[in-house]
Amino acid sequence: MTVSAVIFDCDGVMFDSRQANVNFYNHILSEFGLPPMTAEDIEFVHMHTAVESLNHIFRESLYLAKAQEYRLKLDYSPFIKDMAMEPGLKEVLDFLKPSYGLAVATNRSYTIGKVLELNGLSHYFDIVVSCLDVENPKPHPEAVLKILEFFGIEPQGCFYVGDSLVDFETARSAGVRFISYKNRGLHTDYHVDHLMDITELLNSDYSEGISRQE
């Protein structure tokens, strides 16, 4: 089946956002006099929604409800400068845009719109699905299924580009083919270490995944 759409995760694929996440959540912790996140906490917040992340890092605190309220009032814009756009992102989007439907499926909430806008990316995407647009965030397949419905395509007509086990499980549950970005520990047929390698994969006959080494 011909591929007609490509879905991108945001964090870890379009952006290296670890430092922004660290700064954002550590800011909230400091507001309540709590110590910074542990390494385990950092891994967790990289893959989960803001609600889930605060539930996790405030799990032993009496300030959880107040932390959730504070997050909703906090302007995320100052933290966007700490997000580093992945090399080749605009180039691959420029290449794909004329021929493919483009979408974002992310566990980000209200921040995703501002992230795309301030980085000049909004016009590339036909649909952006955040955790606020679904009842069940990733790894539930609802976000991807919503995108498939928007484009009116079957699962095999789409690729999902992600970097985490959560992304992989989302794609598998939705029945779409998964491209693992910079994570060779995920057991999928398609691995890329550079975003522009996606174009080579789409030009292939899909008989085997791109597996480019440095």
Q: Where are the domains of the chain?
A: 5-16+84-203, 18-80
Residue 1 pLDDT grade (very low, low, confident, very high; cuts 50, 70, 90): low
Q: Tokens in use for 134?
A: 């679904």
pLDDT score at 207: 36
Q: Which residues pair with 180 in a beta bridge?
A: 162, 191
- Determine how many CB atoms are found less than 10 A away from the CB of residue 170: 27
pLDDT single digits (tens) 91-123 = 999 999 999 999 999 999 989 999 999 999 999
pLDDT score at 204: 77
Which class is domain 5-16+84-203?
A: alpha beta
Outline where 48-195 has alpha helix (H).
50-57, 64-73, 77-80, 89-96, 111-118, 142-151, 165-174
Pick the more confident residue, 2 or 114.
114
pLDDT at residue 208 is higher than 60 = no
pLDDT at residue 81 is higher than 80 = yes
DSSP 64-94: HHHHHHHHHHS--HHHHTTPEEPTTHHHHHH
**Calpha distance 95→92 (Å, rounded):** 5
pLDDT score at 203: 84
Average pLDDT over residues 124-128: 98
- DSSP state, residue 119: T
Cβ neighbourhood burial of 164 (10 Å; 0-12, 13-18, 19+): buried
